[in-house]
């Protein structure tokens, strides 16, 4: 993409209503804009990051043999009454009455809908196990939307559901999913911890939350600075608790929940009568697990953990572009031409590259490049090019190396080859 034709509206000033650093940088870097409180429009750069994250999620879900479906946002309220969650979930669920007088809701989650689907399609143990997932927009009427996309009213989730004939099967799927979550968050460049958690309104026997340690975030967790591993959701009476591994006093920190997995057992299959016939011909409720990831939250959490005073620092695998070329001497024709040549070459090799060809001062281009956070900057200036050189700047470290222009392409390939494998 050429920046002169791209819709990347960066901002010099931070909008006053952004509280946390990820929200401020998302607005300034032109990733999104607020529509109303808790509701956002994703601009091209922001949507590219969402796409990278969902690609990583799909790859891992598919590798488990999990199959993608798409469930509807519109759901009959009756289904929630049947499962017993209608009263429990309360005002956070958006309601309306349709023109046929039927009470409908907008799905804040999909346990009821998927259980009802599977109930009609699965009737024998021979059809189990099965894992279905979707990547879909969910709706919540949040009492207090805040922190940008961290607590919003319309957001993208990956939700997966496993269906098994016995507890052994559930345990296996839960463990496979747990491992896949580790791979997903690692590929997204996140430092995270998995903590045993309260199942809350979802129900079931056991759940784990995947938490990103960050200065922003709504959850407090206990974790061990020493060994990193021991952690749990904080409860009032746990202040001062010691690490069971190394006996150091546990620290508390605001954390962002990016994933939550649950052993649901028969909570939904029993209440909605989703049964199967086992080997003996007996009708039994299907054993379920459910597995959620907040896609938009990953984007925010990555920024919380990967930024400096100048802007975002995207990990290579989820960056909207891997390389940005800065043609900083618009008046020096050979520099303009060389930048265009390098852009074409990289583009043809399927490298995601952004060429800053705008009619702007070098200072503006440097500032914007640091702000939007593409990991590799190729700087083509008049003076260095006259010496036959170009500069490569690594966004994360700020390190700048000079390479001969004939060797630039090889050097970029070499860096990407190393960095694009996680």
- Distance (Å, rounded) from C-alpha 163 to C-alpha 287? 6
Residue 68 or 407 with smaller CB distance to a second copy:
68
Closest approach of Cβ 105 to a second copy, in Å? 10
3-state secondary structure of 88: helix
Residue 318 or 390 with smaller CB distance to a second copy:
318
Residue 72 or 244 with smaller CB distance to a second copy:
72
Closest approach of Cβ 120 to a second copy, in Å? 7
Closest approach of Cβ 268 to a second copy, in Å? 16
Closest approach of Cβ 137 to a second copy, in Å? 7
Question: What is the β-pairing status of strands 67-68 and 32-36?
Answer: unpaired
Q: Which helix (H) or strand (E) holds 310?
A: none
On the CB side of 376, CA atoms within 13 Å amount to 25
CB 173 within 8 A of CB 107: no
Residue 144 or 309 with smaller CB distance to a second copy:
144
Residue 121 or 237 with smaller CB distance to a second copy:
121
Closest approach of Cβ 42 to a second copy, in Å? 4
- Distance (Å, rounded) from C-alpha 115 to C-alpha 130? 12
- Distance (Å, rounded) from C-alpha 64 to C-alpha 61? 5
Residue 34 or 241 with smaller CB distance to a second copy:
34
Residue 72 or 388 with smaller CB distance to a second copy:
72
Residue 75 or 306 with smaller CB distance to a second copy:
75
Contact residues for a second copy (CB under 8 A)? 5-7, 9, 33, 35-37, 39-44, 46-47, 50, 65, 67-76, 91, 94-96, 98-100, 102, 104, 106, 113, 117, 120-121, 130, 132, 137, 139, 141, 143, 153-154
Give strand ranges (E) for 153-205: 154-164, 192-196
Closest approach of Cβ 206 to a second copy, in Å? 26
Closest approach of Cβ 256 to a second copy, in Å? 21
The tokens of 361 are what? 């001062």
- Distance (Å, rounded) from C-alpha 346 to C-alpha 408? 11
Residue 134 or 377 with smaller CB distance to a second copy:
134
- Distance (Å, rounded) from C-alpha 181 to C-alpha 296? 16
Closest approach of Cβ 230 to a second copy, in Å? 38
Residue 3 or 185 with smaller CB distance to a second copy:
3
3-state secondary structure of 282: coil
- Give the Cβ contact number of residue 11 at 10 Å: 12
Closest approach of Cβ 5 to a second copy, in Å? 6
Closest CA to 148 of 254, 39, 50: 39
The residues, any chain, with a CB within 8 Å of residue 330's CB and separated by 6 or more, are 336, 359
Q: For residue 342, report the phi and psi dihedrals to the nearest 5 degrees.
A: -60, -40
CB 76 within 8 A of CB 126: no
CB 232 within 8 A of CB 222: yes
On the CB side of 40, CA atoms within 13 Å amount to 27
Closest approach of Cβ 70 to a second copy, in Å? 4
The tokens of 205 are what? 């026997």
- Distance (Å, rounded) from C-alpha 187 to C-alpha 362? 33
């Amino acid at each position: 993409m050429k920046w002169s034709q791209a819709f990347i509206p960066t901002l010099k000033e931070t909008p006053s209503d952004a509280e946390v650093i990820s929200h401020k940088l998302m607005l300034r870097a032109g990733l999104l804009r607020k529509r109303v409180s808790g509701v956002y429009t994703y601009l091209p750069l922001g949507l590219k990051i969402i796409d990278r994250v969902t690609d990583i999620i799909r790859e891992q879900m598919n590798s488990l043999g999990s199959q993608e479906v798409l469930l509807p946002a519109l759901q009959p309220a009756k289904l929630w009454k049947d499962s017993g969650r209608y009263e429990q979930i309360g005002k956070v669920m958006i309601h309306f009455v349709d023109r046929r007088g039927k009470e409908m809701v907008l799905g804040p989650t999909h346990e009821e809908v998927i259980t009802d689907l599977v109930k009609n399609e699965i009737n024998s143990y021979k059809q189990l196990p099965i894992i279905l997932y979707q990547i879909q927009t969910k709706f919540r009427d949040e009492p207090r939307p805040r922190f940008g996309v961290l607590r919003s009213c319309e957001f993208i989730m990956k939700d997966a559901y496993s269906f098994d004939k016995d507890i052994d099967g559930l345990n296996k799927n839960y463990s496979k999913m747990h491992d896949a979550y580790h791979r997903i968050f690692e590929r997204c460049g996140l430092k995270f911890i998995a903590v045993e958690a309260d199942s809350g309104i979802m129900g079931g026997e056991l759940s784990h939350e995947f938490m990103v340690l960050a200065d922003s975030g709504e959850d407090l967790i206990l974790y061990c600075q020493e060994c990193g591993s021991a952690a749990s959701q904080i409860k009032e009476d746990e202040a001062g608790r010691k690490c069971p591994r190394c006996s150091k006093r546990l620290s508390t920190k605001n954390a962002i929940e990016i994933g939550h997995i649950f052993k649901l057992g028969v909570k939904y299959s029993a209440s909605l009568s989703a049964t199967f016939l086992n080997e003996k011909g007996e009708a039994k409720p299907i054993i379920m697990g459910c597995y959620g990831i907040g896609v938009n939250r990953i984007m925010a959490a990555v920024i919380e953990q990967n930024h400096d005073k100048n802007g975002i620092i995207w990990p290579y695998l989820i960056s909207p572009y891997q390389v940005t070329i800065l043609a900083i001497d618009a008046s020096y024709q050979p520099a303009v031409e060389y930048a265009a040549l390098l852009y074409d070459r990289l583009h043809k090799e399927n490298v995601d590259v952004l060429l800053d060809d705008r009619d702007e001062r070098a200072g503006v281009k440097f500032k914007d490049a640091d702000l939007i956070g593409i990991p590799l900057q190729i700087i083509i200036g008049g003076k260095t090019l006259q010496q036959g050189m170009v500069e490569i700047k690594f966004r994360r470290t700020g390190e700048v190396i000079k390479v001969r222009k004939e060797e630039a392409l090889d050097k970029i390939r070499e860096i990407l080859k190393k960095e694009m494998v996680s």
